[in-house]
């Protein structure tokens, strides 16, 4: 594959020779001169190639180096064979390079990673994209970017990005803010501390990535904050209900990356999460409705009970009949109170035979034969 610098030099040489030809008119020479200057000042226009290079620590990492194009922002970190688009091997100094002209013109998410797994272990270990023995770096780039990954302090690799695309190292800057957040939460591992500070960190992260004017960086933060395995997920759902930021992010993605997989995935997930929030809210409303109906039902039952109790007490009230003697009046009231002969005798301090005599006299005066007839007659009077 022709490297960008050689390709650019060849193009410049052809233009220069064309300008020198005698049979080229002045106007054409002028046009070629303009093209020559543009190519000289902006060689990428001629090359249209990317170059991602860097160094690996040969003492600890000796395997292949992989370049992946990430189209699913839920698979940012990890090893996914379906994402890999190129593979290379570092030289004796640890230097490696990816070059070509086959990447998308627009910015996309990329990953360069190296792993220490053997070919035998890769398949079972990488089943879920998890590789404990790997090192990676995430970045934003396009088909014309030049990007290098030099060693950082203590010969650490994949910690710093040098690129002519100012968006390339945005993920590393975001990671530093997230590290600050983790440290703040770890200082006091309490629910109260998390509840107080979560809103602050959500606001800070959203504000920072929005100011970067790169929706892909916002997606990177969104993938972290909306991760269901993250303890911040509950707050994310709460924030989604009231914060218009998420709808505005969808608009920014649509404007800058229309019809891209990133935009389509985000819109689908946003709709799904909003449905989840609304369904929970709807379930809560239904629960309150059932509670209100239950309280109303209990209130009706209590009123019925009070009414029946009132009727019973009303039925047991004293009946005054001028045709009855004082003792017969007492016996009548006790009969209406559902007392037995024995209970009536005990209450009036007389014998059961005396009570039976009073009851017979009472029946004759009222023109009845049984207790039920006495009660019915009284109820009818009510």
In angstroms, the Cα distances linking 59 to 66, 158, 159, 210 are 18, 15, 17, 40
Closest C-alpha among 225, 206, 209 to residue 217: 209
CA distance linking residue 284 with residue 290, whole number of Å = 10
Instruction: Tell me the sheet residues that pair with 109.
Output: 70, 140
Q: At the topology level of CATH, where does 48-168 sit?
A: Immunoglobulin-like (2.60.40)
Neighbours of 155 (CB within 10 A): 11
- CATH second-level architecture of 326-381? Orthogonal Bundle (1.10)
Which structure tokens are listed for 62?
A: 């000796």
CA distance linking residue 260 with residue 108, whole number of Å = 10
Which structure tokens are listed for 301?
A: 């039952």
Closest C-alpha among 94, 66, 87, 90 to residue 151: 94
Q: What is the pLDDT along the chain (382 residues), one digit of tens a residue?
A: 444 454 555 554 555 555 555 545 555 555 555 655 655 555 554 456 899 999 999 888 888 999 999 999 999 988 888 999 999 999 999 999 999 999 999 999 999 999 877 666 666 656 566 777 789 999 999 999 999 999 887 678 898 999 989 999 999 999 999 999 988 888 777 777 777 889 899 999 999 999 999 999 999 999 999 999 888 899 999 999 989 999 999 999 999 999 999 999 999 999 999 998 887 655 555 566 677 778 788 888 888 877 776 665 555 445 556 678 888 888 888 888 888 999 988 888 889 889 889 889 888 888 888 888 888 877 655 5
**pTM, to two decimals:** 0.62
- In the chain, domain spans: 4-46, 48-168, 173-281, 326-381
Buried-exposed string 283-319: b where 16+ CB fall within 10 A, e elsewhere: eeeeeeeeeeeeeeeeeeeeeeeeeeeeeeeeeeeeb
With beta carbons less than 8 A apart as the criterion, state whether 253 and 270 touch: no
Question: What does DSSP assign to residue 155?
Answer: G
- Mode of pairing for the β-strands spanning 108-115 and 146-149: unpaired
């Amino acid at each position: 594959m022709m490297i960008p610098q050689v390709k650019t030099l060849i193009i410049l040489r052809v233009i220069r020779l064309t300008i020198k030809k005698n049979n080229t008119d002045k106007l054409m020479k002028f046009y070629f001169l303009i093209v020559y200057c543009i190519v000289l000042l902006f060689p990428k226009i001629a090359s249209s190639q990317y170059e991602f290079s860097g160094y690996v620590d040969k003492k600890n990492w000796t395997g292949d180096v992989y370049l992946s194009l990430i189209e699913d922002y839920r698979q940012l970190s990890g090893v996914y064979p379906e994402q890999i688009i190129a593979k290379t091997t570092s030289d004796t100094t640890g230097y490696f390079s990816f070059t070509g002209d086959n990447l998308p013109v627009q910015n996309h998410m990329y990953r360069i990673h190296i792993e220490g797994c053997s070919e035998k272990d890769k398949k079972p270990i990488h089943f879920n994209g998890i590789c404990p023995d790997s090192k990676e770096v995430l970045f934003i780039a396009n088909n014309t970017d030049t990007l290098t990954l030099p060693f950082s302090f203590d010969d650490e690799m994949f910690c710093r990005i040098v690129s002519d695309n100012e968006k390339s190292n945005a993920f590393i800057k975001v990671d530093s803010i997230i590290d600050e957040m983790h440290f703040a939460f770890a200082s006091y591992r309490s629910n109260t501390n998390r509840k107080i500070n979560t809103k602050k960190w959500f606001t800070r992260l959203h504000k920072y990535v929005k100011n970067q004017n790169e929706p892909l960086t916002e997606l990177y933060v969104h993938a972290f904050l909306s991760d269901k395995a993250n303890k911040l997920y509950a707050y994310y759902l709460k924030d989604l209900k009231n914060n218009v930021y998420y709808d505005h992010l969808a608009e920014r993605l649509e404007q800058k990356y229309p019809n891209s997989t990133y935009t389509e995935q985000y819109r689908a997930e946003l709709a799904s999460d909003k449905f989840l929030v609304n369904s929970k809210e709807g379930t809560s409303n239904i629960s309150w409705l059932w509670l209100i109906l239950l309280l109303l039902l209990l209130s009706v039952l209590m009123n019925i009970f009070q009414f029946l109790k009132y009727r019973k007490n009303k039925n047991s009230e004293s009946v005054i009949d001028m045709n009855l003697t004082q003792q017969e009046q007492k016996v009548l009231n006790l009969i209406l109170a559902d007392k037995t002969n024995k209970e009536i005798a005990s209450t009036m301090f007389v014998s059961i035979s005396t009570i039976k005599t009073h009851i017979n006299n009472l029946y004759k005066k009222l023109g009845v034969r049984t207790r039920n007839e006495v009660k019915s007659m009284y109820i009818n009077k009510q």
